Amino acid sequence: MSRAAHGSPLGRAPLVLLVPAGAAVLLLLVPLVSLLVVTPWARLPELVASREVLEALRLTGVASLATVVLCLLVGTPLAWVLARVEFRGRSLVRALVTVPLVLPPVVAGVALVAALGRSGVVGAPLRDLTGLVVPYTTPAVVVAHTFVAMPFFVLSVEGALRASGERYDAVAASLGASRWTTFRRVTLPLAMPGVVAGGVLAWARSLGEFGATVTFAGNYPGVTQTMPSLIYQTLQNDRETAQTISIVLLGVSILVLALLRNRWLDRAPTGPGA
Amino acid sequence: MSGGLHARLHVPGRLDAELDADPGSVVAVIGPNGAGKTTLLTALAGVVAAEGHVEVDGRSWTDPVVGVRERRVGWVVQGQALFPHLSARDNVAFGLRARGVRRAEAADRAQAWLDRLGVGELADRRPTRLSGGQAQRVTIARALVTEPRLLLLDEPFSGLDVGVAAALRIELARHLASYDGVTLMVTHDALDALTLADRVVVLEDGRVAQQGTPGDVAARPRTDHVARLVGLNVLRDDAGGFTAFRPQDVVVSPTEPDGSARLRWAGRVAGLTPHGDAVRVQVDTRAGAGVDLLADVTPAASAQLGLSPGAEVWVSVKATATRTYGGPGAH
């Protein structure tokens, strides 16, 4: 860092850039360090072992894994269609996929209620026909998580599919492979780094999901209460406990970052001639 | 209906070509970049949609349309396109497996082809652990193992070291000699066309500009591209005839040469490059001859004449050293 700032052959890095950069680092760093400072570490084991936290942890784990599986099952085919099939409205579908990225999660939750709620557009006939009710159940948590996590997965996989290109697909076809065989034996294996990265991203997004989940699935311990919901609820009356539970989630997030490091962070763009 | 290949292909804006080849023949497809060479191959493979008809071994591939999968082509695309996640053996076995051959048999037949191409001991390696020449051998094995009726080679030696390419060229010639299907080979190298092919097809702007035996095309080029490729000066006259002469026969002089039996042009030196023992002088005579002409002079003569880019010179050639062909009634 200091060598880059002072020893560059292009001259010193200007203060007008260094100062705001430092401010950005502080903004990211101070809250995390503060959380570590105020955490009552002595109570951590006892709190983590409490029934409430264990149930929330279990539910978070189940929901995030189910989210990744659901993304794999429907997101991979969608990414393939977007990358390989030309059809009218493809750019529209791609735009639709990215909507949850910018949509406030609460709005996503409200939209899910409108669709799948007891008297929702799909929810009402579904209840009349099958007796199934989605909202305020664990499946509702998974649906909400998948809704917000899907863009991360699809965009990552589509990028990988585009990068590997259609050349290999064409070669496989000339060797007699059907499109399905080609997908299974060539396209998907070549896109596997993107699938893994997309899965980890979707998993991380699911881990921290709060707004859409609370709105659509509620906050019932053991059924729909995930870690973020529990933290938010605890914060209302017991800040210290909330901070302690947050440490657990922070630990998991850092673990995800470590998993992603090799795949993403090492690919930081390098300068010309580097 | 006879065997071999009969094709008439039209890809709007890119290709409009007719092509015939006997069974067992090797056709070199040459032409400048963007002439439609790769388009021709992909259209024959069925990867690119094309109008027209294709017939191979008396069977139509276009009426009704036969898909890429059923076309029985061996397609070696330009650059390395081995599946990077499969071993050399699995790459070669891929086509057999896709066509329903059992795993063990496919592996045996793949191994046999790898052995034939001299890379049998590398069968378990992934493509990233193969050299360019080894990878190209595996690619050719992968194309041939399914016993295609049409073999399409898109610049099979490009990107290889000179020595590796030479060895592979000799080996490929041996395999092609025993191959009874039709081979189409896109190449940028005159040597490939001269050593491997029975016929040469010259594409320009998506059309067949010339075709014939390699010797004929090399001796009587009808396109600037082939003229450059074989190192001949070729002039086109208004009647559609051609005059060709070798750079060795061209004389460079500082003033207008004497002698009536000489063709002569005034020009300006555009470039000098070493060419064997001689210096190859590129003379811009576009005002007179319509093209740049090449002349080979000795280094001593080059120094004596003070040749340097921009210098004004005369180039001339004895009429007896030229060959004329084409033109009205000479087709």
In terms of domains, do B107 and B13 share one? yes
Average pLDDT of the residues of chain A: 88
Quickly state the pLDDT bin for A270 (edges 50, 70, 90): very low
Bridge-based pairing of strands B51-56 and B150-154 is unpaired
What would the pLDDT profile of B247-288 be if each residue is shown by its tens digit?
Answer: 999 999 988 888 766 888 888 999 898 988 899 999 988 777
Right CATH number for A63-224 from 1.10.3720.10, 3.40.50.10860, 1.10.275.10, 3.40.50.1700?
1.10.3720.10
Does residue B165 fall inside a structural domain?
yes
In terms of domains, do B235 and B220 share one? no
Question: Hey, what are B142's tokens?
Answer: 């992968």
pLDDT of A8 reads 82
**Is the per-residue pLDDT at A6 higher than 80?**
no
pLDDT of B2 reads 64
pLDDT of B291 reads 79
- Mutation site for A-interface testing, chosen from B38, B47, B48 by largest number of A Cβ within 10 Å: B47
In terms of domains, do B141 and B212 share one? yes
**Is the per-residue pLDDT at A268 higher than 80?**
no
Mean per-residue pLDDT, A103-113: 94
Mean per-residue pLDDT, B174-181: 90
Does residue B203 fall inside a structural domain?
yes
Task: Determine the residue type at A192.
Answer: M
Range with the poorest average pLDDT among A125-139, A143-157, B93-107: A125-139
| Whether B85 and A170 lie within 8 Å, measured CB to CB | no
| Whether B45 and A172 lie within 8 Å, measured CB to CB | no
In terms of domains, do B248 and B106 share one? no
Per cent of chain A over pLDDT 70 is 92
Tally of domains within chain B = 2
Per cent of chain A over pLDDT 90 is 60
CATH label of the domain that carries residue B123: 3.40.50.300
pLDDT of A263 reads 57
Average pLDDT of the residues of chain B: 89
| Whether A177 and B77 lie within 8 Å, measured CB to CB | no
| Whether B98 and A177 lie within 8 Å, measured CB to CB | yes
CATH label of the domain that carries residue B276: 2.40.50.100
Q: Which residue has the tokens 């996989």?
A: A157
Residues 6+ apart with CB under 8 A from B62: B52, B53, B54, B55
pLDDT of B103 reads 94
Q: Is A171 on the interface with B (CB under 8 A)?
A: yes
pLDDT of A202 reads 93
Of B46, B74, B85, the CB nearest to A190: B85
Higher pLDDT pick, B331 / B36: B36
In terms of domains, do B95 and B66 share one? yes
**Is the per-residue pLDDT at A261 higher than 90?**
no
Mean per-residue pLDDT, B281-309: 86
Mean per-residue pLDDT, A55-76: 94
Angle among Cα A156, A93, A163 to the nearest 5 degrees reads 30
| Whether A173 and B95 lie within 8 Å, measured CB to CB | no
* CB neighbourhood size of A255 (10 A): 11
Does residue B52 fall inside a structural domain?
yes
In terms of domains, do B179 and B251 share one? no
- Report which of A146, A167, A178, A72 is spatially closest to residue B82, judged by C-alpha positions: A167
Ramachandran class of B8: left when φ > 0, alpha when ψ lies in -120 to 50, beta otherwise: beta
Distance from CA of B106 to the nearest CA of A (A): 13
- Mutation site for A-interface testing, chosen from B42, B68, B82 by largest number of A Cβ within 10 Å: B68
Last residue of a domain, one of B171, B191, B224: B224
pLDDT of A267 reads 47
Range with the poorest average pLDDT among A248-252, B85-89, B162-166, B285-289: B285-289
| Whether B81 and A168 lie within 8 Å, measured CB to CB | yes
Does residue B278 fall inside a structural domain?
yes
Strand order in the sheet with B199-204: B73-76, B150-154, B182-186, B26-30, B199-204, B207-212
Q: Is the dihedral angle over the CA atoms B39, B45, B48, B51 positive or is it negative?
A: positive
* Cβ atoms of A182 and A161 closer than 8 Å: no
pLDDT of A269 reads 43
Of B45, B77, B98, the CB nearest to A176: B98
Distance from CA of A191 to the nearest CA of B (A): 11
Q: Where are the alpha helices (DSSP H) in chain B?
A: 37-45, 88-98, 103-116, 132-144, 162-177, 190-196, 214-219, 224-230, 299-305
Question: Least CA distance to A188: which residue of chain B?
Answer: B85
State which residues form the domain around B189.
5-224
**Is the per-residue pLDDT at A228 higher than 50?**
yes
The B residues from 86 to 115 touching A (CB cutoff 8 Å) are 94-95, 98-99
In terms of domains, do B199 and B87 share one? yes
Mean per-residue pLDDT, A98-123: 93
Distance from CA of B211 to the nearest CA of A (A): 28
In terms of domains, do B177 and B277 share one? no
What would the pLDDT profile of B52-67 be if each residue is shown by its tens digit?
Answer: 999 998 889 988 888 8
In terms of domains, do B235 and B139 share one? no
pLDDT of A208 reads 87
Question: Hey, what are B137's tokens?
Answer: 């051998």
Distance from CA of B85 to the nearest CA of A (A): 7
Q: Is B183 on the interface with A (CB under 8 A)?
A: no
Q: Is A38 on the interface with B (CB under 8 A)?
A: no
In terms of domains, do B203 and B268 share one? no
The A residues from 231 to 250 touching B (CB cutoff 8 Å) are none
In terms of domains, do B67 and B165 share one? yes
Does residue B331 fall inside a structural domain?
no
Distance from CA of B129 to the nearest CA of A (A): 17
Last residue of a domain, one of B172, B202, B224: B224
In terms of domains, do B238 and B217 share one? no
Mean per-residue pLDDT, A8-25: 92
Helix then strand then coil, in percent of chain B rounded to 5, is 30, 30, 35
